[in-house]
Amino acid sequence: MTRTVIVLAAGEGKRMKSDLPKVLHPLLGRSLVGHVLAAAAPLDAQTLVVVGHRAEQVAAHLAETAPAARTALQAQQNGTGHAVRIALEALDDVSGTVIVLNGDVPLLREQTLTDLVEAHESAGAAATVLGATVPDPVGLGRLIRDTDGALVRIVEERDASADERAVREINAGIYAFDAAALRLALTKLTTQNDQGEEYLTDVFGLLVAEGAPVRVHLAADHTETLGCNDRAELAALRALMRDRINTALMRSGVTIMDPATTWVDATVTVERDAVLEPNTQLRGATSVATGAVVGPDVTLIDTSVGEQAQVVRAHAVQAQIGPNVSVGPYAYLRPGAVIGRKGKVGTFVEIKNASLGEGTKVPHLSYVGDATIGEQTNIGAGNLFANYSGTTKSHTVIGSHVKTACDTTFVAPVRVGDGAYTAAGSVVDKDVPPGALAVARAHQRNIEGWVRRARPGSAGAEAAEQALAQQRELPTTEG
Ligand code: UD1
Ligand code: CA
């Protein structure tokens, strides 16, 4: 059976009060419409999204995130039926099954949609609607059945009688149609309703009147059918999605210490026996390998974490954290940070566009930018990689088994050979050969008696006097 998916996404979503079209609002890793497209992906169907309000913005988002989807423009939003008509006109020769999805129902599961389409096709139905019994049907279309339980029509709340409004079985805005039956029924839609729009839902009443077989497919979990009209509803959907993702992860063997404060995007993978501590956000294309411990207080965006790594109180964007690496507390990994196996990025350390070889450690208070560092090297406390001249960025290369002392500054471009050392406080702007000690600082001189002369009578001067007197009295150890 040929299948075509049409996603309705032309509406503005006024109650969102947003410059961003409603269907582009983000929800744990995808836009609302992105979740709908993901649920439809297993149907493997040609897909067309109807765009209208801020069409260019929506089309640009789709080109980036769902390039296989086509778009059709509904310049004026004259209703869901009108939108589907425009979609069918934009596609040639649609036959088989047409699946229509509201772009603002993001919790729909792929399994539910697949089940609906298969039930529709195997029954040979003209139309099937996804229905659900909800605690609060306010604002939604109601499924009106006859005394035998057969669907008679779908009525919008604003057009419904008091009796009809009491019905708690609602239309989720998810449907499967026989293409020919749909096309014919769409020509018969009127705008005789409270909104003066062409309602897709009227197709059901029209088909029933002709004696065509229509069906209701019930969603086992009514939360899958929830739409989103304002940001409070969006937050409620987000919490439901968070719980769904966390439950699936826990069932697959991930330990989540505090599911209420753990936010994992739908696009993230976490392997079994990983542990997520409280206040952890895993976003985008992030992956966490088995045995890794992430959190508390960690945000990872498009970042990979290797097996058995530990990441504590850190923020990482487009970074690669290798196996058995330790990151944090209080570390910032920026794009291009690549930390090799068993490495360490410690406290108050920032790494950008730099790769650290196996076993290399940057334990304290350092900025490492635009650098390549070999294996088993130790970067001392407070090292800075001065990579930016004000106009150009340059690269620093540090070898393996290097030990840099505290407060070394590397002025790029500069190279440090394998096994070299630096002296504390050095500003290294010339290459250091393998095995050399680089000393690049002024020598210390002590001006004796300076405090007594320059700050007479001060507490410091008195303390110094006493210490010096004691030194004179005490026999020195050298005798
Ligand atoms: C629609 C259904 C209602 C159902 C509800 C489920 C109709 C008439 N009503 O109501 O029975 O309970 O969804 O969420 O279909 N859209 C367009 N072009 C238009 C109008 C809408 O593309 O001209 C898109 C919107 O962007 C949205 C979807 O269609 O993604 C649904 O439209 P919306 O206005 O939200 O319909 P509801 O009033 O929620
Ligand atoms: Ca809606």
The Å distance, Cα 211 to ligand 2 centre, comes to 29
pTM: 0.93
3-state secondary structure the chain: CCEEEEEEECCCCHHHCCCCCHHHCEECCEEHHHHHHHHHHHHCCEEEEEEECEHHHHHHHHHHHCCCCEEEECCCCCCHHHHHHHHHHHCCCCCCEEEEEECCCCCCCHHHHHHHHHHHHHHCCCEEEEEEECCCCCCCCEEEECCCCCEEEEECHHHCCHHHHCCCEEEEEEEEEEHHHHHHHHCCCCCCCCCCCCCCCHHHHHHHHCCCCEEEEECCCHHHHCCCCCHHHHHHHHHHHHHHHHHHHHHCCCEECCHHHEEECCCCEECCCCEECCCEEEECCCEECCCCEECCCEEEECCEECCCCEECCEEEECCEECCCCEECCCEEECCCEEECCCCEEEECEEEEEEEECCCCEEEECCEEEEEEECCCCEECCCCEEECECCCCECCEEECCCCEECCCCEEECCEEECCCCEECCCCEECCCECCCCEECCCCCCCCCCCHHHHHCCCCHHHHHHHHHHHHHHHCCCCCC
pLDDT value at position 136? Answer: 93
The Å distance, Cα 103 to ligand 2 centre, comes to 8
Burial class of 466 by CB neighbour count within 10 A (0 to 12, 13 to 18, 19+): exposed
pLDDT in tens, 367-398: 999 999 999 999 999 999 999 988 999 999 99
Domains of the chain: 3-225 (3.90.550.10), 254-438 (2.160.10.10)
Q: Which of 33, 35, 86 is nearest to 60 (CA)?
A: 33
pLDDT value at position 128? Answer: 98
CB distance 170 to ligand 1 below 6 Å:
yes
CB distance 82 to ligand 1 below 6 Å:
yes
Q: Low-confidence residues of the chain, pLDDT below 50?
A: 479
pLDDT value at position 476? Answer: 63
Which ligand is located closest to the Cα atom of residue 23?
1
Q: Which of 16, 78, 80 to mutate to test the pocket of ligand 1 (most atoms within 8 A of CB)?
A: 80
pLDDT value at position 93? Answer: 84
CB distance 205 to ligand 1 below 6 Å:
no
pLDDT value at position 389? Answer: 85
Angle, helix 32-40 to helix 55-65, in steps of 10 degrees: 50
pLDDT in tens, 9-43: 999 899 999 999 999 999 999 999 999 999 999 99
Q: Whose CA is nearest to atom 13 of ligand 1?
A: 173
Q: Write down the catalytic residue from 25, 53, 120, 364.
A: 364
Residue 364 is a catalytic residue: yes
Which ligand is located closest to the Cα atom of residue 24?
1
Which ligand is located closest to the Cα atom of residue 9?
1
The Å distance, Cα 48 to ligand 1 centre, comes to 16
In ligand 1, which atom is closest to the CA atom of 202? 8
CB distance 79 to ligand 1 below 6 Å:
yes
Q: Which of 8, 102, 138 to mutate to test the pocket of ligand 1 (most atoms within 8 A of CB)?
A: 102
